Chains A and B, each alone.
Chain A
Amino acid sequence: MKARQKRLVLVGLALIGVAGATTLALSALQSNISYFFSPSQVMASEHPSDAVFRVGGVVVPETVARQADGLTVRFDVTDNAAVVPVSYTGILPDLFSEGQGVVAKGRIGTDGVFYAEEVLAKHDESYMPPEVADTLQTAHIDGIIEQTTESLKQ
């Protein structure tokens, strides 16, 4: 094979590879991303009813209650404007505590309770997940019922 042809073959292979990888990456992305919603947005039903999403805010003090099985925990998450009840079965992260920022990932049940598969709290006490920080500010500005103007999932 001549050098030119060889280079063409290599370039062709590389192009096929790039196209394949891009397709794979983007198609897989659609099913693996989870959107973030604030409690206000959840209350306004902006969230998907059939997909996993994340909700974040501050754990409302004195709402953390352990259920009879010893493993399920219920607590409320707020953005200072609306409240979403969350239920999680399992071991909570060390930094989980009342008044702390958390992000929960899961789906909402027909009873309006958010069933979390995963609850994230952060390593550093003074750290607030950016989404949660944004939510809190938004809620302060917009008051109680006004929902955020930010259009989220189109």
Chain B
Amino acid sequence: MIPELGHLALILALLLAIAQAGFPLAGSLTGNRPWMTMARPLAYGQLAFVAIAFAALVQAFLASDFSVLYVAQNSNSLLPDIYKISAVWGGHEGSLLLWALMMAGWGAAVAAFSRNLPLPVVARVIAVMGMVAIGFLLFMLLTSNPFERLFPVPPEGRDLNPLLQDFGLAIHPPMLYMGYVGFSVAFAFALAALIGGKLDAAWARWSRPWTTVAWVFLTIGIALGSWWAYYELGWGGWWFWDPVENASLMPWLVGTALIHSLAVTEKRAAFKSWTVLLAISAFSLSLLGTFLVRSGVLTSVHAFATDPERGLFILLFLCLVIGGSLALYAWRAPEVSEGGRFDLLSRESGLLLNNLLFVAFTVLVLFGTLAPLIYEAFNLGKISVGFPWFNKMFLALAPFLALLLGIGPATRWKHDEPWRLTKTLWIALALSIGMLALASLPAISGGDQWVPIGIALAAWLLFSHLTLVRERLKHKHGSWRQAMLADFSGNGRSFYGMVVAHLGVAMFIVGVTMVSNHEIEKDLRMSPGDSHEMAGYRFEFLGAQKVNGPNYRADQGHFIVYRGQRQIAELFPEKRSYLGGGMPMTEAAIDAGFFRDVYVSLGEAVGGGDWALRLYYKPYVRWIWLGAGLMALGGAIAVSDRRYRTARARRTAPTEAVAAKA
């Protein structure tokens, strides 16, 4: 009964979404105020019904109702409760429902936190979000109903893919989807502005915090996915350039370009059409990502067993969204006025270069991801693009980006003088060159050219941003700490957010450089009692024994890791067989540290108590995710800036007055 209620709730949500897409928009075009005011209640209603559907599915999982096909496929009565909940989005249908829930959630959030926006703008934004929601709800109802019944009812479910029975993966998809779907808000704001023909600094200021929040979620989602792949897959890698990873990276890259270009639009009213184009692209790439994951057109480690019908639906939806929004763009964008002018040396130019680099990299990633399809379409053979290619592209662009990242924020808007910039940054430059020399010493670089470059670039980011903070506080009263605190609680949040995020980039660069060039990985056969020495660590293998988990049996290895004579860690890697499904699973054991991880994963028992296994030494690998965490934190700090709130408060009075008159 409850699954049918869930199904019904989805249908009702679709009807509300159709109303949400229609009335407010029509109202905003004809000046019909009652129709416009329908936007908010409709958005709340859609959220309520999708939430009911979602709760129904959660209930089916918790109650292990195997008469529901999706539950039977993705759960098992032995599964711990926490994973029963995360199993809700462990498969295709449920993850779509999660997506729809978030879509409705963002819509309701826009409705709730836009009290101070002009009503026509709110109506249009919510209407556009309703259109996107229609697409997803229809997709679910037509091709992937999570509430489909199964008869006869199986006594036991097939179990959740063991790889997904993990805390990191329980929260990775929700974060990622929050990001993907969050870009729909930026998209909706952009389309609303195009429809209304009013693209101005106020528009940028409204859509900026939404875009940044979506970007923060996406950043966290990608970082979690990378972290999960690192410890769960047991390959010790943190990024594989897999099509699905690329699918999440592309919206992130364009989203990053977008938050920077929005800054220009807000401060200088320039780059307006470009910003709109980026907002459209970021969301379109999110959809493209979904298409790539769901349709199975590309070979990927993430691919679900797929269904061509679904692929076709998403492809159609994708064409409709991209085609429709670009057509609107082509029709309306020429009317957008030119923004403020700027000189060649100015912050605008710096941000323009930033945007070009990010977009160039996106295009390269897109090309590399789709190259196998292109080759096949032209009958050139079945190829795969190896990750060395992506690494090469990344290394070709990233250094310029990092170099620019030190200069850009120090540059003034509109016009700057080369000598002033040099005077500001020469200390940072000198220190970074010092770091370059230091890191070039063979003892540090290990003879690799990229190590000193990476470290010098990270140092450059650190020192240039410290310079920025010092410059900002130079004329303030009190000690630098007091000044900084006062500044932070005053209007400085977006500035400090930027500094934190950019320092995250520096940290990320150090992590990537060190782990790529200094990691050690070794496949070995070890007998109980054997030791192996690697990177100054001695791994002693004491043997393996059988252990039982709640829904699996495992062989558990026992290792002691020594540094010199000192024991630093005891590691218990496992090889698990889940009772629900036959496939074995490696649970790597990791001793995590700020400066290095040591990592053991079991391969196979090779007879006589011996095991084939893999040892890893991963220097600075945590810095990759900590760096991403800092970027996300920076975004969160920036969003909390007072100006987003005060600006709205200021705008409240006149808007209401105008609305009342209308």
Chain A residues near B (Cβ < 8 Å): 1, 3, 6, 9-10, 14, 17-18, 21, 24-25, 28-29, 32-36, 54, 66, 69-71, 89-92, 94-95, 97, 103, 105, 120, 122-127, 129-131, 134, 150-154
Cross-chain contact A17 with B360 (CB below 8 angstroms): yes
Interfacial chain B residues near A21, Cβ < 8 Å: 360, 363-364, 396-397
Cross-chain contact A35 with B341 (CB below 8 angstroms): no
Cross-chain contact B303 with A124 (CB below 8 angstroms): yes
- Report which of A89, A94, A120 forms a contact with B523, defined as CB distance below 8 A: A89
Cross-chain contact A131 with B523 (CB below 8 angstroms): no
Cross-chain contact A24 with B393 (CB below 8 angstroms): yes
Cross-chain contact B392 with A32 (CB below 8 angstroms): yes
Please list 24 pairs of residues, one from A and one from B, whose beta carbons are closer than 8 Å in the complex, sorted by A's number: A1-B344, A9-B344, A10-B344, A21-B363, A33-B383, A34-B384, A36-B382, A66-B606, A70-B525, A70-B610, A71-B523, A91-B523, A92-B604, A94-B584, A94-B585, A94-B586, A97-B583, A122-B303, A123-B302, A124-B305, A125-B582, A125-B583, A127-B305, A130-B297
Cross-chain contact B385 with A70 (CB below 8 angstroms): no
How many chain B residues touch the partner (CB < 8 A)?
A: 56
Interfacial chain B residues near A6, Cβ < 8 Å: 343-344
Cross-chain contact A32 with B386 (CB below 8 angstroms): yes
Interfacial chain B residues near A97, Cβ < 8 Å: 583
Interfacial chain B residues near A131, Cβ < 8 Å: 299, 382
Cross-chain contact A95 with B583 (CB below 8 angstroms): yes
Once the chains are docked, how many angstroms separate the CA of A104 from the CA of B552?
Answer: 29
Cross-chain contact B356 with A34 (CB below 8 angstroms): no
Once the chains are docked, how many angstroms separate the CA of A90 from the CA of B60?
Answer: 42
A33-B386, A95-B583 known; A124 vs B523 contact (CB < 8 Å): no
Cross-chain contact A34 with B386 (CB below 8 angstroms): yes
Q: Does B296 contact A (CB under 8 A)?
A: yes
Q: Does B379 contact A (CB under 8 A)?
A: yes
Cross-chain contact A71 with B525 (CB below 8 angstroms): yes
Q: Does B109 contact A (CB under 8 A)?
A: no
A3-B341, A25-B393 known; A127 vs B304 contact (CB < 8 Å): yes
Interfacial chain B residues near A36, Cβ < 8 Å: 381-384
Interfacial chain A residues near B610, Cβ < 8 Å: 70
- Report which of A71, A123, A153 forms a contact with B301, defined as CB distance below 8 A: A123
- Report which of B360, B393, B583, B612 forms a contact with A28, defined as CB distance below 8 A: B393
Interfacial chain B residues near A94, Cβ < 8 Å: 234, 583-586
Once the chains are docked, how many angstroms separate the CA of A148 from the CA of B566?
Answer: 61
Taking the closest CB of chain B, its distance from the CB of A95, in whole angstroms, is 6
- Smallest Cβ-Cβ distance to B389: which chain A residue: A32
Cross-chain contact B384 with A33 (CB below 8 angstroms): yes
Taking the closest CB of chain A, its distance from the CB of B298, in whole angstroms, is 8
Q: Does B447 contact A (CB under 8 A)?
A: no
Taking the closest CB of chain A, its distance from the CB of B544, in whole angstroms, is 14
Cross-chain contact A32 with B385 (CB below 8 angstroms): yes
Q: Does B161 contact A (CB under 8 A)?
A: yes
Once the chains are docked, how many angstroms separate the CA of A70 from the CA of B614?
Answer: 13
- Report which of B364, B379, B388 forms a contact with A151, defined as CB distance below 8 A: B379
- Report which of A29, A35, A66 forms a contact with B382, defined as CB distance below 8 A: A35
Interfacial chain B residues near A151, Cβ < 8 Å: 379
A17-B360, A127-B305 known; A153 vs B381 contact (CB < 8 Å): yes
